[in-house]
Amino acid sequence: MTSTAEIRATLEARLKELGAEVEKLEAEGGQPLDADWSEQANQLEELETAEGLEQVRLSEARAINAALQRIDNGSYGVCASCGGEIAPARLAAQPTATLCISCAA
């Protein structure tokens, strides 16, 4: 079984990784476009993909921050829908889960 302290450490480490990934994506997006029109089209497509990736990472970071807040206030592992316990195995697999298996189905 994974303890809350271990889950917290995992979440904090992932949050740090996400921050680095978002910084990298933002830095890459700030580069000037090439003078060649065909190359600009490729760069714009890559920029659009990077922006999508950034949004996914920011969404994950929000979920992690919410999970850390639930750990802090003692509501971590409690289903947001029915108030029952979220199985430890579910939390180990998906530490940001807010619903028990029954409510998530």
Type and span of the H or E element at 24: helix 4-29
Q: At residue 1, does pLDDT exceed 60?
A: no
80 beta partners: none
- Rounded to the nearest integer, the mean pLDDT of the chain is 89
HSE (side-chain half, CA atoms, 13 Å) at 6:
7
pLDDT of residue 38: 75
Per-residue pLDDT tens digits for 34-77: 777 777 787 778 778 788 889 999 999 999 999 999 999 999 99
HSE (side-chain half, CA atoms, 13 Å) at 69:
7
Domain ranges, ordered by start, for the chain? 4-76
Task: Give the rounded distance of the alpha carbon of 49 from its chain centre.
Answer: 17
The stretches of 35-105 forming alpha helices (DSSP H) are 37-73, 88-93, 101-104
- Given a contact cutoff of 8 angstroms between Cβ atoms, the answer to whether 7 and 71 are in contact is yes
Identity of the amino acid at 15: L
The model's pTM: 0.80
